């Protein structure tokens, strides 16, 4: 089990490198708004990998660890929503 963890870390690193390669090559194409969406989705996937494997959130037990990231993301979403409802309709 413990040795498998070591391999998981290297696989996660490999995935992060590949995803970086994809975003950089994606940016070369001119897809307009779609490319912003793709680049942000890939960044979200990358941070999800770092959070769950490198920062061990996947292995933590307890309600607090399960809830804190969703709560912070929800707070940020509210801020973003409120800011944009102001900026967009001003």
Partner 1 sequence: METHRDDMGSKIGMWLFLLSEILLFGGLFILYSSYRYKNPIDFHLAAWELDRVLGTFNTLILITSSLSIVLSIFFVQKGNRRLSGLFLLATIFLGILFLGIKYVEWTAKIGHGLYPNSPRLLGRSKGEILFFGLYYSMTGLHGLHVLIGLFILSAMLVLVMKGKINEHRFVPLENTGLYWHLVDIIWIFLFPLFYLIT
Contacting residues toward partner 1, per CB under 8 A: 2, 5-6, 9-10, 12-13, 16-17, 20, 23-24, 26-27, 35-36, 39-40, 42-43, 46-47, 50-51, 54-55, 64-65, 68, 72, 75-76, 79-80, 83-84, 87-88
CB of 2 to partner 1, least distance (A): 7
> Residue 30 Cβ, how far from partner 1 at the closest point, in Å?
9
> Rounded to whole angstroms, how far apart are CA atoms 85 and 90?
8
Count other C-beta atoms under 10 Å from residue 90's C-beta.
Answer: 5
- Residue 17's CB is within 10 A of a number of other CB atoms, namely 10
Biggest CA-to-CA distance, the chain = 56
Query: 72 is written with which tokens?
Result: 């912070």
Task: Supply the minimum distance, in Å, between the C-beta of residue 51 and partner 1.
Answer: 7
């Amino acid at each position: 089990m413990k040795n498998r963890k070591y391999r998981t870390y290297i696989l996660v690193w490999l995935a992060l490198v590949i995803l970086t390669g994809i975003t950089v090559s994606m940016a070369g194409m001119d897809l307009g708004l779609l490319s912003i969406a793709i680049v942000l989705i890939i960044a979200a996937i990358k941070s999800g990998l770092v959070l769950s494997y490198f920062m061990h959130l996947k292995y933590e037990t307890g309600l607090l660890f399960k809830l804190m990231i969703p709560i912070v993301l929800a707070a940020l979403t509210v801020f973003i929503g409120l800011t944009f409802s102001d900026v967009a309709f001003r």
